[in-house]
């Protein structure tokens, strides 16, 4: 008995193939006819990540010191191209220098020298605007910021009133500009990367962002973005059961919204979904969904073994990469093209190596 094969469907979405269970109300997303070139797993070159310079061991802090981070320099540096950025020295402040603090002036944060009161906000904002344009041209796929820094802190940075009293916390001036100028860019602080779940999610998002950037950075058509979406469906399902359908609606409106607006909306929604934690129970349901594509090829014993392995994964007795390897094996063995093309089953070897360290 032949296994059900996902049909080539135009918009709008159609129900999943026969015998393949629906996933949380999701209908198998749009398909497009693809060339052999597009059906192969995506291979990326060097992936660039911006990093606060002090985390790389550069002596650029206000007191002439550094905050070298062993994970960044000892692990990530082996897999990514790290681009150092120090907002304070690059915008013209020397080393050593006065310590800076954020001061709330009405609804706006100011970057102020703690002793002299000199305001560096305007200089920082001018420099940030220029530097972010330069960084965009390098093709960044992520950024790691120094926690607590009045320039680089992503969140919960100490803020003071003009009288020196504590005020509600905020974000460093450069960090805020970075996030605003790069919607969806994976951004984390070095201390948050000590949390295994947050670290795993950051790594996953960096590779996903790089895949999408690689596509949108070259010559592409809406059909190429539709093909990208079809390859990311299982990954999206692992984060949010409704996501593939919602993103397919973005693509369905491409004729009305145009190519560039569609790409911008798709990237924002895609990265927003991946920022949600992929809970183990949801990932187990994704494998159960994929099992539907294999049932016609498998004997009773094989189906039982796969079902048991998914249960073991739920109980943390089998690692994620173990299930991925097993399902990839069966997809290749039986030439189930839809599964073979899924990025969820075809992670970049660098991503596998990094996430296995978590």
* pLDDT exceeds 90 at position 195: yes
Q: What is the mean pLDDT of residues 253-260?
A: 95
- Assess whether pLDDT exceeds 60 at residue 200: yes
Q: Residue 14 — pLDDT band, cuts 50, 70, 90?
A: very low
How many CB atoms within 10 Å of residue 358?
Answer: 13
Q: Is the confidence at residue 12, as pLDDT, over 70? A: no
pLDDT at 22 over 60: no
CA proximity to 98, closest of 119, 110, 114 = 114
* pLDDT tens, residue by residue, 103-117: 998 889 999 999 999
Mean pLDDT of 45-70: 97
Question: pTM (2 decimals)?
Answer: 0.87
Tell me the mean pLDDT in the region 77-95: 97
Residue 43: predicted pLDDT: 57
Closest CA to 244 of 7, 38, 4, 12: 12
CB 137 within 8 A of CB 148: no
The residues, ordered by sequence, that sit 6+ positions from 235 with a Cβ below 8 Å of its Cβ are 208, 274, 342, 343, 344
Task: Domain ranges for the chain, please list them.
Answer: 48-197, 219-355
What is the band of 356 on the pLDDT scale with cuts at 50, 70, 90?
confident
């Amino acid at each position: 008995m032949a296994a059900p094969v996902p049909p080539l469907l135009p918009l709008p979405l159609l129900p999943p193939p026969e015998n393949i269970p629906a996933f949380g109300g999701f209908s198998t997303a749009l398909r497009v006819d693809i060339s052999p070139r597009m059906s192969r797993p995506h291979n990326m070159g060097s992936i660039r990540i911006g990093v606060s310079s002090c985390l790389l061991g550069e002596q650029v802090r206000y007191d002439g010191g550094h905050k070298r981070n062993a994970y960044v320099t000892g692990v990530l540096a082996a897999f990514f191209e790290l681009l150092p950025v120090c907002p304070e020295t690059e915008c013209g402040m020397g080393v050593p220098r006065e310590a800076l603090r954020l001061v709330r002036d009405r609804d706006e944060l100011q970057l102020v020298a703690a002793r002299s009161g000199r305001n560096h906000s305007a200089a920082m904002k001018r420099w940030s605007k220029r530097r972010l344009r330069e960084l965009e041209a390098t093709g960044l796929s992520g950024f790691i910021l120094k926690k607590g820094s009045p320039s680089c802190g992503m969140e919960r940075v100490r803020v003071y009133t003009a009288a020196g009293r504590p005020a509600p916390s905020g974000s460093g001036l450069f960090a805020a500009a970075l996030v605003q100028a790069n919607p969806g860019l994976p951004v984390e602080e070095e201390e948050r990367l000590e949390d295994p779940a947050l670290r795993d999610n950051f790594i996953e998002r960096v590779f996903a962002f790089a895949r999408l950037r690689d596509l949108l950075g070259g010559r592409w058509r809406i059909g190429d973005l539709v093909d990208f979406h079809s390859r990311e469906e299982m990954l999206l399902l692992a984060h949010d059961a409704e996501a593939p359908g919602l993103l397919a609606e973005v693509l369905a409106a491409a004729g009305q919204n145009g190519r560039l607006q569609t790409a911008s909306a798709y990237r924002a929604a895609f990265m927003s979904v991946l920022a949600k934690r992929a809970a183990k129970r949801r990932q187990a349901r994704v494998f159960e969904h994929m099992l539907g594509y294999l049932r016609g090829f498998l004997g009773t014993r094989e189906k039982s073994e796969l079902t048991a392995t998914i249960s073991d994964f739920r109980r943390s007795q089998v690692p994620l990469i173990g299930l991925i390897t097993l399902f990839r094996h069966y997809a290749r063995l039986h030439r189930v093209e839809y599964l073979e093309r899924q990025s969820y089953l075809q992670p970049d070897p660098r991503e596998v190596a990094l996430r296995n360290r978590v």
